[in-house]
Structure 1
Amino acid sequence: MEDRRSFLKKAGIVGSAFVLGLNPLMSTGKNSMVKIAIVGTGSRGKFLLNFLLSIQKENPFEITALCDNYTPNLTSGLKQCTEQGVDPATYSDFRKMIAEHELDGVVITTPLHTHAEIAVYAMKAGIHVMCEKAMARTLEDTKQMLDVQQATGKILLIGHQRTFNPKYIQAMAQIHAGKLGTIGQIKAYWHRNNDWRRKVPEGKPELEKQINWRLYREFSAGLFTELMTHQLQVANWALQASPVSVRASGSIRFWKDGREVEDNIAVIFSYADGTQFIYDSMTSNSLIGVEEQIMGSKGMMELESNRVFWEASEKKEHPSAIAQLSAQIKKGKAEPVMAGGSSWKLEEAAVKADLPILENASDDDGSALLMAGFIKFLQGEKFPLWLTYSAYEASAWTLLAEEAMLSGKTLSMPEKYQL
């Protein structure tokens, strides 16, 4: 365990050198043709496939095969490729696909509970992996993925696209340089008005759980694994640490439709230095949307909206209400003076300005750069292992947060799952 912790410190997970400047699109001159496959061509798979198809000319590689056990998804994924002049082989069994092709990498965008099986099989077959977040449905499977990565030395990149987003990289560089001062608290939220339910083909009720897997606890932890894991990774990244405990609550308040996962959650992660990460998410109101707020003694950053608010460098001291009244009496006049509550001592605004973290930041959330990065790693760019370790920490603590909610207890990570 000590060797791994030493590595983590060097890699930046708990140390100061967090490899912030890595740009996956900076070529080292290695531009070999690599072969990749997509396992899972549902909505997320097609979303990432679109980026891969768009960067093929600049980063030559071959989309060799597509795999999905749901025929409509496989058909639409193939159509997406053929429209761009790409003609991959198609499979319903990922094992057969791997047996019949010499692949360099696979992109896994299947339901959460299948991630570990596919990723472990691919890495043991000598194939590099990009897998959607969270890593797996259970702590045991999450740890297995990490252990197999360690044993095989294969790339295991998890789909936390914010680690490739330039505004997040810029924000972290400033945070780790101390620009925000001492971080006292991090708040994040992700609010939607969307029930996640998808239409099941008429006459095929047996497909309900396959299509609506996000709604059933056996296959998903809902808001925890589908959304929160992203923002927990951001909090850990900012603090260069992992939590030491978590407590949580949640319920099904609005969507009374047979689902098993919560439609609203509230979570508090505590860190060893006393910092708290406060998180909430819901699916029946979208007004405030999504944000991560990093709050320090010198300023606050809102990363999603690309804003930084610096604390006023010089706060003017205003005379108290009694001092104001005394001065007026001496001048022979008396005017009304507020003399209750916070009006006893006035202060100017707490911030100097609302400024961008990164000028001219792109609207892309980092997904395009994530996919381009994976291709570059396959072509020979050095893969920074902190990406795997930070994903493991976010995934494991996400699952522990769900357990804390279900148990009603404050929990710490069991030693067998600690890095």
Structure 2
Amino acid sequence: MSSLAWIDFDEAERQRAQRIMALFQEREGRDELGLGAIRDSIADHLFPGTSTIQTRLRYMLFIPWLFRMLEARDIPESQLRAEARALEIRLADALKAGGESNSIIGRDAGPRLQRLPSSVYWAGLGAWGIRLFPGSTDSLFVSLRSLKRLRVSSDSEDAAAGPRAAAIWNQSLPQAPKDLLDRAVFRLAADEAQFIIDRLVATQPAALLTLLAREGINADCDHIWTHPHLASFPAPARRLIHHGEIFSNVMHGAALLYNLVLSELRSRDDWAEDYRERIATWTAEVDLSLVRNWSLDDFWDAVEHPGHSIRPAAKRFVMQWLELVVENSTQIASAPAARQLVEERERRLKTSQSRYANHAVRDRWTGASGVNRLNFRWSQARSHLRDLADAE
């Protein structure tokens, strides 16, 4: 019997592609200069299972609760998919009925909702061991009937020897509220928060997110490197945060220069002036002594992650930009070498869709692409930690 036939051939690649496609739809998630693999490597070390499109933590429970409602249904795959979608849309209405107004996925879209909560949280559910089924939502719908038969077969065997291949969700998942689809709230119950913490401890023991969740450390700071408890973090986390701070600060200048040049090409003097001012501010804030002593070799060693492949071209771009910053940071906005480096990088990445080369694409540009400093999903991690701290 081929009990693994329902697993996607390469689910990791599928989920990575879906995540990248979703990020390109977000203003602040755009990766115009090909730094995404580096950014995500750091984020996945520190805050695994998070993504920039997550909103509130209780969706990590909402999704399995909704899908469990369908597991006993003996209906065709297409109907399962349609009913799952309907449940996720009903959840948005239930959250509004429960008094929530912000962070609701699909709050305004209703039946027109394109990005379902399950697609936003599916990878995180797997990373935290809440979801045991290794495939995508589509493969789950395809496999649900055979999984149910497998589960029945398991129940008839000795508990110690029976197969566990039919498990979809962690067996310790808390029970769903009876009125989930009538009135729902984002506040976690105490046992729900403990379940999530337990899952993090079991599946991501070395992650900073797990330490902060387990110890109940919650702080309202803009960047992880300004966290008031930074000095007490484990050494590997401090090392990565140190590298992440420098990388974020240094490469922010490249993003600003890219936007400045596009503003000039669009003949938008107002936009260009704004970016010149922002580059001047960035120049004044860059700690050149810190940058000069920054070890790229140690940086590449620290950020290496099995889920991400950082291409040599990306490493070369970072190295060349770093050299330009050290040599000529005060004149970076007008430096020909800096402008050429950024242009060549974008042209290689986007080819025919390059905003430098394609007038139609450039004319659709709205004035800002990837201009926010990289914070490696700290905003989402901070929100999740706050939800854990507020559990009752």
TM-score normalised per structure 2: 0.22
**More strand by proportion, 1 or 2?**
1
Structure with bigger gyration radius: 1
**More helix by proportion, 1 or 2?**
2
Q: Which one has more relative contact order, counting CA pairs under 8 Å at least 6 apart?
A: 2
TM-score normalised per structure 1: 0.21
